[in-house]
Homo-oligomer: A and B are copies of this chain.
Amino acid sequence: DVAKDVDESLVEKFLSEVDNIQIQENLRELTKVPHMATTAGDEQTVKFMLKRWQDPESGLDQAWREEYMVYLSFPDPKNPNSVTVVTPSDAVLHTVREKEKPYTADQEDPEVVQPYAAYSPAGHPRGKLVYANQGKPSDYELLNRTIDLNGTIAITRYGGAGRAAKAINAAPYGVIGVLVYTDPLDINDGLMSDINETYPHSWYLPPSGVERGSFKNHYGDMLTPYLAAKEETYRIPAKNVTGIPPIPIQPIGFEDAYILICKLGGEAAPSEWQGSFNCTYNLGGPGFKHTSTFNNSDVKLDIFNYEEIKSSANVMGVIRGSVEPDRYVIYGNHRDSWVHGAIDPSSGTSVMLELSRVLGKMVKQGKWRPRRSIIFGSWGAEEFGLIGSAEYTEQYFTKLSERTVAYINVDIAVFANATLRASGMPSVQNVIFTAAKQVNAPGLDSMSVYDNWIQYANKTSPAHGTIPRMGYLSGAGSDYAAFVHYLGITSMDISYTYDRSKTNARIYPAYHTAYDTFDYASKFIDPGFTSHQAIGRTAGNILIRLADSLVLPLNCSDYAESLEEYLKTATDLYQHQLKAKNISMEPLKHAVASFRRAASHLDKVIHSSDLANETPLKVRMINDQLMLLDRAFLNPLAFPDKYGYRHVIWASSSAGQPTFPGLADAYDKAESSGQSNDWDKVHYHLSVLSQAIDGAAHMLVDVI
């Protein structure tokens, strides 16, 4: 039936069938072995997904694997990376722990990869140690004022700067190697002892835990920018790759970092650089205190990482749409982990499998078929930089651009069990709210996810009053990046998360370590799996609404509200100075006003029409206006220096202002350089931005 809308009784049925125990058992299966991208464990999860989705009982119409040949980086099991403290006569005074300390059998699995920094070059730097705080440009600059950094090794803590940046920022000062560790201050609310404070006694990170990660700035396969990484695809020479560490870098646990840092000589570091070790963090002499046992010793890194092009698989599953098969709602999550990845990403995969089970069952029973097609994506090699999802968007660029209604990303489904967290384009706020109101908050039978959420994060909207506060997808933190920034597809990212009054942890403490296991997840993150269930219900509810609504539940007036907020900030911050430079903000103001007018008008059309009795092409016309709105914000020339960023509203920004990212960055640069050429770039970006917003407004106004 072409005029059918969402069936609320079906939504209810879906909600009632999403089962926490099923999710728990999915997770148990997915986390049996480590499943780092392209390993045997990864292949095991590919087979598991395919078995589930290709099962004729699954109700899915099709499922398949799709391979890309991608550029990865691994440590060498035969030559483990090592970090040692060595005397001038080469005596080894200390050796950093090679692998994490076992507390359960999981850590003893031989497939647990040694902690390493993916894309760190191999090398054997040896030098005096310095403490460089978070490895930000300002950190090295400060250090460089009093210390000659040439030939030194810098130890940094996670946070404040991207992983690769800690090494990229260091190299210009002559630093030859970098260590990075997780300070208990940043992850454990200061706690350090595995006798009674850390896992397995709590969710906190044990002293030997090490965060692994991809040390690269650009998302996607680095050898095949903007091209799907197939066998014969042209690859840029590896030596031309940018955005990776130019010098060796290695992550270590705070157990070892404590030993190194508390022996450092030199002046005391600034108070903001101090972590929670029970010693003063000194800058380094460079090197250790003369009074310490490490007096006069060097720190030596022996890094044996190697790069390899390997085949990584996405697993895809489809439920074909009944009325509009050529409109896609895509739901995705990566499959690869660093170790067992119980939370990252298998919590999300467990939820996706449960969601596809319940929806597929309704299809199989003949009770339902979505109006639009649903595509599930289990992405490969996300941990190495969102590679599987990015390659997918490169391969199917036009098809996905023209047909995708929305992308839902659920990577880590549950960080913690306090409240919903949602980020996305402003147009999806409304459908997230609708869904969240229909789901019970985990452990709170009489309160909805929505009512719980609004207690933890809220804001005042001119149109809606007090509402939960959503985030924006302005970075590249998970697989939504290529959908948002490269394709311009309306996207969202959903999870359950912390009570910030109870913890300051940067992220759940076992993140990217060998402790992110089923045992950890089921004991400390979500006992009973009810938060997983709540995410499954919320995300699935959203998915059904996007797939089944007669008129797409995307609200363009909420988009207008965000643009107006951005404009207000931009005007407050920049207008005065821009005027002095003879650069007018009027076109931007006009564009935002046009967008608002067009959005109000389209909303009126939607609400005043009896669309169920209209021709299906009239409804399609409106839906295309809503679907394609975000596409108008794309400009492949807007960010010449930012790989993969084309969406002028949500690109990443270093300016840290809640406003148009390219304008903020260009303004900051011009303000600091004072060069007229940089003010020209501000003017240029203003024109790009105004034209994009105008173009989006044109998509919303009457089609002729």
A: which residues have CB within 8 A of B?
Answer: 2, 61-62, 224, 226-228, 230, 232-234, 318, 320-321, 323-326, 328, 373, 375, 394-399, 402-403, 584, 586-587, 615-617, 620-621, 624-625, 628, 631-632, 634-637, 680, 683-684, 686-688, 691, 694-696, 698-699, 703-704
Tell me the smallest distance from the CB of A166 to a CB of chain B, in Å.
31
Tell me the smallest distance from the CB of A99 to a CB of chain B, in Å.
40
Tell me the smallest distance from the CB of A524 to a CB of chain B, in Å.
41
Please tell me if the beta carbons of B398 and A696 are within 8 angstroms of each other in the complex.
yes
Contacts of A584 in B (CB 8 A): 232
Please tell me if the beta carbons of B632 and A227 are within 8 angstroms of each other in the complex.
no
Chain B residue at minimum C-beta to C-beta distance from A629: B398
Give bound CA distance, A616 to B621, whole Å.
12
Question: A234-B683, A396-B698, A398-B695 are known contacts. Are A703 and B373 too (CB-CB below 8 A)?
Answer: yes
5 contacts between A and B (CB under 8 A): A233-B687, A234-B686, A320-B704, A397-B695, A402-B402
Please tell me if the beta carbons of B624 and A586 are within 8 angstroms of each other in the complex.
no
Please tell me if the beta carbons of A615 and B233 are within 8 angstroms of each other in the complex.
no
Q: When the two chains form the complex, which single residue of B226, B234, B324 contacts A617, counting CB atoms closer than 8 Å?
A: B324
Tell me the smallest distance from the CB of A343 to a CB of chain B, in Å.
32
Task: Beyond the given A62-B704, A233-B687, A373-B703, please list 20 additional residue pairs across the A-B interface where CB-CB is below 8 A.
Answer: A2-B617, A226-B635, A232-B584, A232-B587, A232-B687, A234-B687, A321-B704, A323-B617, A326-B625, A328-B704, A395-B694, A398-B628, A398-B695, A398-B696, A399-B695, A402-B699, A403-B703, A616-B616, A636-B636, A636-B637
Tell me the smallest distance from the CB of A329 to a CB of chain B, in Å.
12
Chain B residue at minimum C-beta to C-beta distance from A694: B395
Tell me the smallest distance from the CB of A486 to a CB of chain B, in Å.
12
Give bound CA distance, A628 to B396, whole Å.
13
Please tell me if the beta carbons of A232 and B586 are within 8 angstroms of each other in the complex.
yes
Task: In the A-B complex, list the 9 residue pairs whose CB atoms are closest, starting with the nearest.
Answer: A326-B703, A398-B632, A234-B687, A636-B636, A234-B684, A234-B683, A326-B621, A399-B698, A373-B704
Contacts of A226 in B (CB 8 A): 635, 637
Chain B residue at minimum C-beta to C-beta distance from A700: B399
Tell me the smallest distance from the CB of A321 to a CB of chain B, in Å.
7
Give bound CA distance, A318 to B323, whole Å.
31
Contacts of A686 in B (CB 8 A): 234
| Most chain B beta-carbon neighbours within 10 Å: one of A397, A398, A584, A631 | A398
Please tell me if the beta carbons of B617 and A699 are within 8 angstroms of each other in the complex.
no
Please tell me if the beta carbons of B704 and A631 are within 8 angstroms of each other in the complex.
no
Contacts of A325 in B (CB 8 A): 621, 703-704
Contacts of A227 in B (CB 8 A): 687-688, 691
Contacts of A680 in B (CB 8 A): 234
Contacts of A683 in B (CB 8 A): 234
Please tell me if the beta carbons of B699 and A399 are within 8 angstroms of each other in the complex.
yes
Tell me the smallest distance from the CB of A618 to a CB of chain B, in Å.
9
Please tell me if the beta carbons of B233 and A587 are within 8 angstroms of each other in the complex.
yes
Question: A228-B691, A683-B234, A686-B234 are known contacts. Are A398 and B631 too (CB-CB below 8 A)?
Answer: yes
Give bound CA distance, A635 to B584, whole Å.
32
Chain B residue at minimum C-beta to C-beta distance from A681: B234
Give bound CA distance, A624 to B323, whole Å.
15
Q: When the two chains form the complex, which single residue of B397, B398, B695 contacts A396, counting CB atoms closer than 8 Å?
A: B695
Contacts of A399 in B (CB 8 A): 632, 695, 698-699
Give bound CA distance, A634 to B324, whole Å.
25
Chain B residue at minimum C-beta to C-beta distance from A682: B234
Please tell me if the beta carbons of B617 and A704 are within 8 angstroms of each other in the complex.
no
Tell me the smallest distance from the CB of A372 to a CB of chain B, in Å.
10
Tell me the smallest distance from the CB of A623 to a CB of chain B, in Å.
10
Tell me the smallest distance from the CB of A608 to a CB of chain B, in Å.
18
Give bound CA distance, A226 to B684, whole Å.
11
Chain B residue at minimum C-beta to C-beta distance from A680: B234
Tell me the smallest distance from the CB of A683 to a CB of chain B, in Å.
4
Q: When the two chains form the complex, which single residue of B321, B373, B402 contacts A631, counting CB atoms closer than 8 Å?
A: B402
Chain B residue at minimum C-beta to C-beta distance from A1: B615
Chain B residue at minimum C-beta to C-beta distance from A324: B617
Chain B residue at minimum C-beta to C-beta distance from A400: B698
Chain B residue at minimum C-beta to C-beta distance from A401: B631
Chain B residue at minimum C-beta to C-beta distance from A327: B703
Give bound CA distance, A680 to B237, whole Å.
10
Contacts of A616 in B (CB 8 A): 615-617
Give bound CA distance, A312 to B228, whole Å.
43
Contacts of A691 in B (CB 8 A): 227-228, 233, 394-395
Tell me the smallest distance from the CB of A492 to a CB of chain B, in Å.
22
Tell me the smallest distance from the CB of A162 to a CB of chain B, in Å.
25
Question: A587-B233, A684-B234 are known contacts. Are A398 and B615 too (CB-CB below 8 A)?
Answer: no
Contacts of A635 in B (CB 8 A): 226
Please tell me if the beta carbons of B318 and A704 are within 8 angstroms of each other in the complex.
yes
Give bound CA distance, A61 to B2, whole Å.
30
Give bound CA distance, A691 to B396, whole Å.
9
Contacts of A620 in B (CB 8 A): 617, 620
Q: When the two chains form the complex, which single residue of B2, B375, B698 contacts A615, counting CB atoms closer than 8 Å?
A: B2
Question: A234-B683, A323-B615, A616-B616 are known contacts. Are A628 and B402 too (CB-CB below 8 A)?
Answer: yes
Give bound CA distance, A695 to B637, whole Å.
22
Chain B residue at minimum C-beta to C-beta distance from A701: B399
Tell me the smallest distance from the CB of A251 to a CB of chain B, in Å.
35
Contacts of A326 in B (CB 8 A): 621, 624-625, 703-704
Contacts of A394 in B (CB 8 A): 691
Give bound CA distance, A695 to B396, whole Å.
6
Give bound CA distance, A399 to B703, whole Å.
9
Tell me the smallest distance from the CB of A433 to a CB of chain B, in Å.
28
Contacts of A628 in B (CB 8 A): 398, 402
Chain B residue at minimum C-beta to C-beta distance from A374: B704
Please tell me if the beta carbons of A398 and B698 are within 8 angstroms of each other in the complex.
yes
Contacts of A621 in B (CB 8 A): 324-326
Tell me the smallest distance from the CB of A622 to a CB of chain B, in Å.
9
Contacts of A320 in B (CB 8 A): 704
Tell me the smallest distance from the CB of A457 to a CB of chain B, in Å.
33
